[in-house]
Each structure stands twice: as structure tokens, then as C-alpha cells.
A and B are shown apart, each in its own frame.
Chain A
């Protein structure tokens, strides 16, 4: 089983739609969680950290479910510019580096 698993997609949604991605992780002792965004042929960029109580940044909401070992990202009112690959990132206790999921591709259509 992969340490961090994501549905590769693509998720094709119309502008204005709400879309949600999940990411599961295997290590119950994982400490820190992030969502990164990667545009085609570009480097990943931090979208948001994920806090235990859940957090929101504008149209984006991130949640953590430790019992079921997954994190989620909800995007409301999708824009064309949201089209990208969304990477789930986890930091495990005892490992020094962050582990990246393979990403979920989102395509927002006009």
C-alpha cells in the first residue's frame, strides 16, 4: 500500500461547481498535512496547510479525519484558473522528509 494515495482523476467539472478530493495516508502517526498545487510543467506550490480542526481559505476548505486517516480538499465556485494537479502531502513521525501523493488532476471547463 502506498504511504499517500490519491485518485489521479481527472476530475472534469464546469465553472462554478463544487469539487472535493480525498487523500488517504497509511501512517497513523503522521503529524503534518498539506495541499500543494502543481500547474502543468511547473513546480509545486503550497496551497494550504491542513489543521486538525479544519481550515478555510477563501473558496478552499481543508479537513483532516485522523480516525479514518484521510484529508480532504473542497473547492467551491470553481474557476478556470483552478485547473491543475492537487498534491496531498504528509509528514510522518520518524521520517524527516515530506511524502507526496501522486496528485489529483482537476480540469475546470467553461
Chain B
């Protein structure tokens, strides 16, 4: 079946612009995660959605970052007034039940802020 789909795969933007990244999870997966990975670094947790529960936003680095999810489907991660330090690969993952179930990752969106 289809895996986690992310778009765009690459995004180059100018400092100060807003960007929106999209994630389509695997159908039926109730949990959805966003992680950030800077070049040569580990995965940094950003935000977690589980069903209709309030999202866990504890990893968002600043108020320039926000994310939404429509029901148990598509999620968008928005970065406002982008900065050069926002350059990274943004990875979305989904899992069947959340709370410790294995994650299935998308291919990521490589964001470059110039």
C-alpha cells in the first residue's frame, strides 16, 4: 500500500518568507509526528498528533512554527518568517496506534533558507 507521502520534496526559500510543508500519512494510522533533522545531526522531535487528542507541541522550537492536522489525515507544518537556521530535512512519520508503536517515515522535505 502507499506509504507516508510528503510534499514538496525540496523547497528553497528566502529568509523571512513563510513555508508550508505537507504530510499524507498511511491510511488508518492515527498517530502522526513531525521531526526535524539538520545536516549530520539526529532527529529532533517537533510535534505529535494522536487521533482527536490535543497535539503534543512540546518540541516546536519557536512560535514561528505551527502545525495542523485534519482529522486523521493530512497534516501541514508551517514555518513563518523563515530563518537560515530553519534549513533542515523535515520528516513526517505515522504509526498505527501511537504511544510507542513503530513509525513509518516519509521521504522528507529538504528545506533550504537562503
By a beta-carbon cutoff of 8 Å, the part of chain A in contact with chain B is 31-32, 34, 36, 42-46, 49, 87, 91, 95-103
A34-B102 contact, Cβ under 8 Å, with A97-B33, A99-B45, A102-B42: yes
The distance in angstroms between the C-alpha atoms of A103 and B38, with both chains bound, is: 13
Question: Taking A87-B43, A97-B45 as contacts, is the C-beta distance between A46 and B103 under 8 angstroms?
Answer: yes
Q: Per a CB cutoff under 8 Å, which of B33, B56, B59, B105 touches A43?
A: B105
Select A98's contact among B41, B50, B100, B107, beta carbons within 8 Å: B100
Interface residue? B106 (CB, 8 A): yes
Closest chain A residue, CB of each to CB of B92: A43
Q: Is the CB of B105 within 8 A of A44?
A: yes
Contact string, B99-112, partner A, CB cutoff 8 A, digits 1/0?
A: 11111111110000
- Within 8 Å of chain A (Cβ to Cβ): is B35? yes
Q: A43-B91, A43-B108 are in contact. Are A98 and B42 (CB under 8 A)?
A: no
Q: Give the contacting residue for B99; candidates A91, A102, A103; CB below 8 A.
A: A91
A2 to B59, alpha carbons, bound, how many Å?
A: 15
A102 to B40, CA, bound (A): 9
Q: Bound complex: CA of A99 vs CA of B48, how far in Å?
A: 12
A49–B106 touching, CB < 8 Å: no
Distance between Cα atoms of A43 and B94 in the complex (Å)? 13
Given A31-B100, A32-B100, A103-B42, A98 and B33 contact (CB-CB distance below 8 Å)? yes
In the assembled complex, the Cα of A31 lies from the Cα of B101 at a distance in Å of: 11
**With a CB–CB cut-off of 8 A, which chain A residues contact B102?**
34, 46, 49
In the docked arrangement, what's the CA distance between A58 and B24, Å? 33
**Which A residues are in CB contact (< 8 Å) with B33?**
97-98
Q: What CA separation (Å) do A72 and B100 show in the bound complex?
A: 18
- How distant is the Cα of A36 from the Cα of B108 in the complex, in angstroms? 16
